Structure 1
Amino acid sequence: MPHLLITGAGRGIGRALATAADARGWQVTGTTRGTPPETPAIRWERLDVTDPASQTALAAQLGPLDAVICNAGVLLDRGQRLEDGYAPELWAESFATNVTGVFLTVQAVLPLLRASRGRIVILSSQMGSTQRAPGGSYAYRASKAAVLNLGRNLATDLAPEGIAVSILHPGWVQTDMGGSGAEITPEAAAEGILDRLDALDVATTGRFETWDGRAHPF
């Protein structure tokens, strides 16, 4: 049974991903910073993606991996004003989770992916596209642009080892982050993301796509 790690799996898209992946026959390890949900089929581990020691401790517990979905993320700057908002601490936490946290996750589990020539999925956002810049949410947009760049460069460096990297916009999803008026359910997003994972190989590595497989502008 192939082994999939999903970060930030305690709620929202991550929770839906864990449930859908289990139904598809994956052995699923989900991470959360808080109390794990009561889902016996899924193995739960504590992880603070911003903490290298937490990452190292998790990797030591996992064993071989076939894939990782870097889903953990925060949106902290909703409602901030350009004139007096966006405190330095907000920027630091946004980048620590949304960018550094992804890098630390990949760095920690890379030895576990190498044996299987595993796959990496990074959830960015259409809000990280530099071609689509409607303004606002500066810290979140900048962090998602940075993690898109990170994923593209990881794809280049890891392709010779047969490890493929996908960067995805998961859709505008009905979660605490996306709001109840969003376009798609977490379950629909999860199924699409897992379809992209199934299709991912070194021939398609480094692409920025939507959850339903459309090329997304950078």
Structure 2
Amino acid sequence: MTYLITGANRGIGAEMRTQLQSRGDTVIGTHRDAPQDGFLQLDVTQPADFDKLAQGLQGHKIATLVCNAGVYLDKGEDLETGYPQDMWAATFAANVTGVFKTIQTVLPFLESGSKIGIISSQMGANAKASGGSYIYRASKAAVLNLGSNLATDLKSRGISVGIYHPGWVQTDMGGDVAAITPTQSANGLIARLDDLSIQTSGTFQNWDGTPHPY
């Protein structure tokens, strides 16, 4: 099967790429900087890059699209003085608009039975309203809503959509003291995508398969 993973050059995306290739799947990865061997260039905040992505996918059929690329820019921002407007715009451009534009661009390369996995976060759930990181939380809440509504609209095409919390992972974003490794997270996310079906489309799950409340 052929997978397309955005942000596949590091962290969870890189580990998913490695694990999928090791079991014999074909993986097309994207990288936001200049093209590298095995990667297509895609900065999800740059409209012109989506045209390049479509060109690079010509001749391919994608079994599973993984929307993994994202940013967390407001960690540690102060309520009184932080959270500038340009940070809101940059975060939503990557975490929400970028996800939608990726899916919109890749739709012609999907077919009945294809799957879309959106890597979100428990920080976007109302059930985890522990305060702070307002921009990141709002963007992940938006992409949760986006994913569940796309699941509704794509069901008639036979395309399933799953939304996943990858866990608190030892990456640049999660930090060294996070609870699980990229290997553990990627292994769980791949299992979730393997299990995803049109009957379970719209699900919001943790990396380990437990359901996550919205």
Q: What's the TM-score, normalizing by structure 2?
A: 0.96
**Code of the aligned partner of 2:32:** R
Does the CA contact (< 8 Å) of 1:72 and 1:98 recur in 2? yes
CA RMSD of aligned residues (A): 1.2
- Gap runs ≥5 in structure 2: none
Bigger shift: 123-132 or 165-174?
123-132
Aligned length: 212
For residue 56 of structure 1, report the CA deviation from its aligned partner: 2.0
The answer to whether structure 1 residue 165 and structure 2 residue 161 are counterparts is: yes
> Which residue identity does 2:141 align to in structure 1?
A
Q: Unaligned 5+ residue runs, structure 1? A: none
Identity of aligned residues (%): 56
- 1:73 corresponds to which of 60, 70, 73: 70
Q: What residue is the counterpart of 2:19 in the other structure? A: 20
Q: Residues 184 and 35 from structure 1, CA distance in 2 versus in 1: closer, same or farther, beyond 3 angstroms?
A: farther
| Alpha-carbon distance change, 196 to 22 in structure 1, aligned in 2, over 3 angstroms | same
Q: Would the aligned equivalents of 2:41 and 2:52 in 1 still touch at CA under 8 Å?
A: no
* 1:117 CA displacement: 3.0
Partners of 2:74 and 2:183 in 1: CA distance: 26
| Counterparts of 1:151 and 1:5, CA distance in 2 | 17
Matched with 1:131 is 127
SS at match of 2:161: strand
CA distance in 2, matches of 1:30, 1:104: 16
Compute the TM-score of the two structures, normalised by the length of structure 1.
Answer: 0.94
Letter paired with 2:75: R
Give the conservation status (yes or no) of the 8 Å contact 1:174–1:186.
yes
Q: 2:171 aligns with which of 157, 170, 175?
A: 175
- Structure 1 CA distance for aligned equivalents of residues 212 and 82 of structure 2: 30
The CA distance in 2 between the partners of 1:98 and 1:105, in whole Å, is: 11
Runs of 4+ in 1 over 2 A off after TM superposition: 34-37
**Could you tell me whether the CA contact under 8 Å between 2:33 and 2:43 is conserved in 1?**
no
1:54 pairs, out of 36, 49, 66, with: 49
Q: AA paired with 1:196? A: R
Counterpart of 1:147 in structure 2 is 143
